[in-house]
Chains A and B, each alone.
Chain A
Amino acid sequence: MTGLALEDALADLGGALDAPSGDALALRVGARIRAARAPRARRRLLLVFALLVVLLLALSFVPAVGEWLGIRGVEVRQEPAPTTVTTDAGASSGLDLGRPVGLDAVPIVPSALGAPTGVWLDERPPVPIVTLTYQDGTLVAELRAVIADDVVLRKFAGPGVRVEALEVDGHRALWVEGAHAVAVRTGDENVVDEFRTSDSALVVEIGDLTVRIETRRGRDAAVAIARNLVRSAGVGTP
């Protein structure tokens, strides 16, 4: 084969190679980039807020007002709860977790906690919240807050309440230590926010679920429950 004939033959071979067509390649690459960007953005956000927490602790004589930490669907504001709730529909208080339902309504059941004393479904917020209650006062609430900016729960961590960003088996979490107020958004912005008080709580993202674990048994116990939920859900490290 002459030099030119070989070059022509190679050019022809390039078009005839049985290489993959890659029809969906662009979509797959785009999906991977978008998926990778979200955690990075979240990590940056956590870093910023971790620095903020350090700064707030360093300047503890200055009242911490208006700063907040976020987990998908849950906003933790580092400020005292409003003494009154100003809404169009008025305020309510107390532990209203919705109506009783069966265990089959629970996205992930924490197997390590045994049988719950109650299972509740609250359908008033923008996304339903399923709550399991246990004999020792532990409470596990699960919600599918798929829209990152849509706040369903607001926690007000005032003075004496510590907020710590952490990871549970690679899943983003916040530990709020100390009694604090929780507001449940029960509809549009102009409709009532329902307030109640909460013990220390861990909020963790597991797959597309946001789970809130309220316990008096401390941070390590809450993290253990979260790990059990991660295993029960069968989701890997995000």
Chain B
Amino acid sequence: MESSDGELVERAQRGDVDAFEALVDRHRRVALRVAYAVAGDDAEDAVQDAFVKAYGALGRFRAGSPFRPWMLRIVANEARNRRRSANRRSTLALRVVDPATDGGASPEDAAVASERRRALAAAVGSLEDRDREVIALRWFAELSEAEMATALGVRPGTVKSRLSRAMERLRAALADNEVTA
């Protein structure tokens, strides 16, 4: 039977690196998705550093709390710091890979869906770092608002307002892009 996050964390806290590797493998895709949305091509280095730091910080992890938001907080911090230290302030170009069609959609529909994805990725990439981060945690990592509060280190009420403002700005960016297209 597959070990739970809690069991793996407990083993890792006792120095079991194999257990921590299992945690990394389990959460890497979500971590990379969030880091990519925040730091673009620096994502992999950021996530690698973040996991190494997370291992060092396991002693401060509260037993029984969910691992993913705690880990994503470290990942987001690392990704944000990398982007800041690289002094990258311009728009982040997020690349999109269209999923393979399952035969249900016509080529025309697939092309329209692809175009919409690219437009949305461009709009997300044009947002400020803190807006991209909150959108990534909510929609790319699929965290609840309570989990986002852990990941962002803020109160749940603050999450709601930050997310709401980020979505407003995203809609505005989409509208701008439509006007300029």
Contact = CB atoms under 8 A, between A and B. Distances in A.
Nearest to B33: A19
A187 B31 CA distance: 50
Contacts of B140: 10, 13-14, 17
Contacts of B22: 26
A12 to B, nearest CB: 7
B70 interface: no
B77 to A, nearest CB: 17
Given A29-B55, A32-B48, A13 B21 contact: no
A176 B162 CA distance: 63
B176 interface: no
B43 A13 contact: no
B167 A6 contact: yes
Contacts of B171: 1, 6
A36 B20 CA distance: 15
Interface string B44-69: 10011001100100000000000000
Interface in B97-149: 97-99, 116-117, 120-121, 124, 135-136, 138-142
Contacts of A18: 36, 94-97
Contact of A25 (B24, B55, B99): B24
Contact of B142 (A11, A27, A29, A36): A11
A20 B52 contact: no
B139 A13 contact: yes
Contacts of A7: 139
A94 interface: no
B149 to A, nearest CB: 19
B28 A30 contact: no
